[in-house]
């Protein structure tokens, strides 16, 4: 699967706010976390810079959950 709404590593929805026209004016979840460059480098070259990783593949699920606990909706 190679589109902007799906993770290039696993194919799940990547939850990218910028790729979804309904939320493109909002900040994406990835703006509040630090993704290890090694995770991105592990992708095959033809999949890099085409779509965002999902939070699980970006290995930031714990960071997002901690942020949500500090900033409840």
pLDDT digits (tens, 9 = 90+) for 6-48: 999 999 999 999 988 899 899 998 888 888 899 889 999 998 9
Predicted confidence band at 73 (pLDDT cuts at 50, 70, 90)? very low
pLDDT digits (tens, 9 = 90+) for 50-62: 899 999 998 887 7
Cα 39-7-30 angle, rounded to 5 deg: 65
Q: Taking the domains of the chain in order of start, what are their residue ranges?
A: 1-73
Q: What is the dihedral of CA 15, 21, 23, 25, to 10 degrees?
A: 120
User: Coil, helix or strand for 13?
Assistant: strand
């Amino acid at each position: 699967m190679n589109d902007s709404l799906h993770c290039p590593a696993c194919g799940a929805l990547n939850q990218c706010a910028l790729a979804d026209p309904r939320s493109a004016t909002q900040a994406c979840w990835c703006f509040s976390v630090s993704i290890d460059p090694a995770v991105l480098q592990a992708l095959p070259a033809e999949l890099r810079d085409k779509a965002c990783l999902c939070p699980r593949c970006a290995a930031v699920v714990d960071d997002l959950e901690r942020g949500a606990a500090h900033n409840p909706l």
